[in-house]
């Protein structure tokens, strides 16, 4: 017997195993018929208790549903599930409205009110991912809590524990902005985060560069993935051991579950072109290196209005499809500031909009002391919840290490100094 559209949707959701996507669908309980309810209710209880989607065999064990892996993605079946609900609902409403228009006691106003309510219900169903009833908060809130409690990935991490703990994973709709002066490490930081999402979390990644050729990004990624010096790879001077390491690592890359797409400006130069590619490749996360170089369709805009317009397009058009990270520049005036003058979001080159549309904004700086020449300072200038803070990351091109720097613990027994260090390492909230 062919499975119903509702059961095929549930099977697809569980086969994909993406808890974040499941929660992002919003309230869907009203879409299922009596033959699908038991399976839906079991899945809801399972994710609430265990913070993960169940296997098909587990669902069959606890319900009378017979499920098998469907050929299409969950979103395909969700669309048809909504159409089924709207079709049936409108038919019933039309029938009820027709009765109100017949006989001596006909009531056109009541018929109009009934059809209006039906249309509002259809709109709520169509936009269920963007409209929430707080009475239904139990499942999504506690499911996410349980997932985090057991260490499951909810959202996409950036690869630095301090920041990931502060942010709690980035989601669809989020725009993370990396800001720094030219040649201060923006691309390397973006690549580190992209490699973490792909290699550690198994996400499909789209890395777009508008500053350099795609082959150069591929070369940088390869050196980071294999942990061999990027300059030696660039100059064709890898040692025998490093060559063997590179071959071995890139051979394993071929076995990755999901792709890491690299795209340069030869493929797309505007946000609408990027939109078409994003819809085709369906990435889980997008990186836009040199976003200030993206062009706008309105060629009459000056360079500053263009950057504002592009930032707004990225936020409203690209971010709803996948969390997006973009790099921008500080102005020349920022570089001329004295040491005791802080560089702030007001120093971002060419735009006031970037700060406003960014969910998270990270400034990249180089400390002046000799001890930190191999480290960068990442300053959170805007957090999703107003958080602020800073941490250091590696700037090690021999080992290609850009991970978070952890200061060695002091053994001098100075408790007061240890307490001060702990206090300085805590997040700052405003």
Looking at 147, 181, 204, the residue that finishes a domain is: 147
DSSP state of 31: G
Looking at 147, 181, 211, the residue that finishes a domain is: 147
- The total number of structural domains that make up the chain: 2
Model confidence at 428: pLDDT above 80: no
Q: pLDDT tens digits, residue range 321-345?
A: 999 999 999 998 887 887 778 888 8
- Do residue 167 and residue 121 come from a single domain? no
**Mean per-residue pLDDT of the chain:** 87
Which CATH number characterizes residue 279's domain?
A: 3.40.50.300
- Do residue 215 and residue 350 come from a single domain? yes
pTM of the model: 0.74
pLDDT at 150: 66
Mean pLDDT computed over 206-235: 93
Q: Are 142 and 48 in contact (CB under 8 A)?
A: yes
The percentage of residues in the chain with a pLDDT greater than 70, rounded to a whole number, is 92
Which range of residues forms the domain containing residue 113? 5-147
Q: Which two tokens stand for residue 356?
A: 């406003």
Mean pLDDT computed over 88-110: 92
Q: Which two tokens stand for residue 57?
A: 């065999």
Q: In terms of Cα–Cα distance, which of 295, 220, 315 is closest to 260?
A: 220
pLDDT at 381: 94
Q: pLDDT tens digits, residue range 264-274?
A: 988 888 999 99
- Name 392's bridge partners: 377
- Per DSSP bridges, beta strands 387-394 and 285-289 are unpaired
Model confidence at 429: pLDDT above 80: no
Model confidence at 152: pLDDT above 80: no
Q: pLDDT tens digits, residue range 39-84?
A: 999 999 998 888 889 999 999 999 888 899 999 989 899 999 999 9
Looking at 147, 173, 208, the residue that finishes a domain is: 147
Q: In terms of Cα–Cα distance, which of 29, 274, 316 is closest to 172?
A: 316
pLDDT at 151: 63
- Do residue 259 and residue 349 come from a single domain? yes
417 lies in a domain?
Answer: yes
- Name 80's bridge partners: none
Comparing 176 with 26, the larger pLDDT belongs to 176
What whole-number distance in Å separates Cα of residue 159 and Cα of residue 45? 31
Q: pLDDT tens digits, residue range 287-334?
A: 999 999 999 999 898 888 999 999 999 999 999 999 999 999 999 888
- Do residue 173 and residue 319 come from a single domain? yes
The H or E element spanning position 315 is none
152 lies in a domain?
Answer: no
Q: Are 271 and 318 in contact (CB under 8 A)?
A: yes
pLDDT at 414: 52
pLDDT at 337: 83
Q: In terms of Cα–Cα distance, which of 12, 63, 77 is closest to 35?
A: 63
Mean pLDDT computed over 181-199: 94
pLDDT at 426: 39
DSSP state of 134: G
Q: Are 360 and 162 in contact (CB under 8 A)?
A: no
Where do the H-state alpha helices sit in 25-127? 34-50, 56-62, 74-100, 108-126
400 lies in a domain?
Answer: yes
Kindly give, in sequence order, each residue whose CB lies less than 8 Å from that of residue 61, ignoring residues fewer than 6 positions away. Answer: none
Note the residue count of the chain: 430
């Amino acid at each position: 017997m062919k499975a119903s559209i509702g059961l095929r949707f549930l099977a697809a959701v569980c086969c994909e195993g993406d808890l974040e996507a499941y929660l992002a669908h919003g309230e869907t309980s009203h879409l299922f018929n009596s033959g699908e309810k038991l399976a839906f209710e079991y899945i809801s209880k399972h994710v609430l208790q265990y913070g993960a989607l169940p296997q098909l065999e587990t669902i069959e064990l606890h319900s009378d549903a017979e499920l098998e892996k469907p050929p299409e993605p969950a979103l395909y079946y969700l669309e048809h599930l909504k159409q089924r609900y709207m079709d049936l609902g409108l038919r019933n409403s039309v029938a009820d409205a027709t009765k109100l228009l017949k006989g001596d006691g006909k009531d056109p106003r009541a018929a109009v009110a009934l059809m209006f309510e039906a249309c509002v219900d259809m709109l709520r169903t169509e936009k269920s991912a963007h409209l929430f009833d707080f009475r239904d908060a139990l499942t999504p809130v506690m499911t996410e809590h349980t997932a985090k409690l057991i260490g499951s990935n909810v959202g996409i991490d950036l690869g630095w524990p301090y920041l990931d703990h502060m942010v709690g994973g980035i989601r669809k709709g989020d725009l993370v902005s990396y800001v720094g002066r030219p040649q201060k490490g923006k691309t390397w930081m973006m690549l580190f985060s992209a490699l973490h999402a792909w290699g550690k979390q198994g996400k499909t990644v789209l890395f777009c560069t508008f500053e350099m050729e795609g082959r150069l990004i591929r070369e940088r990624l390869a050196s980071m993935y294999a942990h061999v010096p990027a300059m030696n790879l660039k100059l064709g001077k890898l040692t025998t051991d490093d060559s063997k390491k590179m071959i071995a690592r890139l051979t394993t890359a071929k076995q990755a579950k999901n792709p890491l797409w690299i795209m340069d400006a030869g493929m797309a130069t505007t946000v609408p072109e990027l939109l078409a590619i994003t819809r085709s490749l369906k990435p889980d996360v997008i990186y836009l290196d040199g976003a200030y170089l993206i062009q706008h369709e309105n060629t009459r805009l000056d360079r500053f209005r263009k950057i504002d317009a592009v930032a707004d397009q990225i936020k409203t058009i690209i971010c709803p499809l996948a969390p997006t990270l973009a790099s921008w520049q500080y102005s020349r005036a920022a570089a001329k500031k004295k040491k005791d003058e802080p560089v702030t979001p007001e120093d971002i080159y060419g735009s006031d909009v970037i700060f406003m549309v960014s969910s998270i904004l990270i400034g990249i700086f180089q400390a002046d002391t000799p001890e930190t020449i191999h480290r960068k300072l990442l300053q959170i200038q805007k957090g999703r919840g107003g958080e602020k803070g800073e941490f250091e990351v590696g700037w090690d091109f021999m080992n290609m290490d850009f991970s978070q720097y952890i200061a060695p613990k002091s053994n001098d027994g100075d408790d007061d100094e240890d307490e001060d260090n702990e206090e300085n390492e805590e997040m700052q909230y405003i």
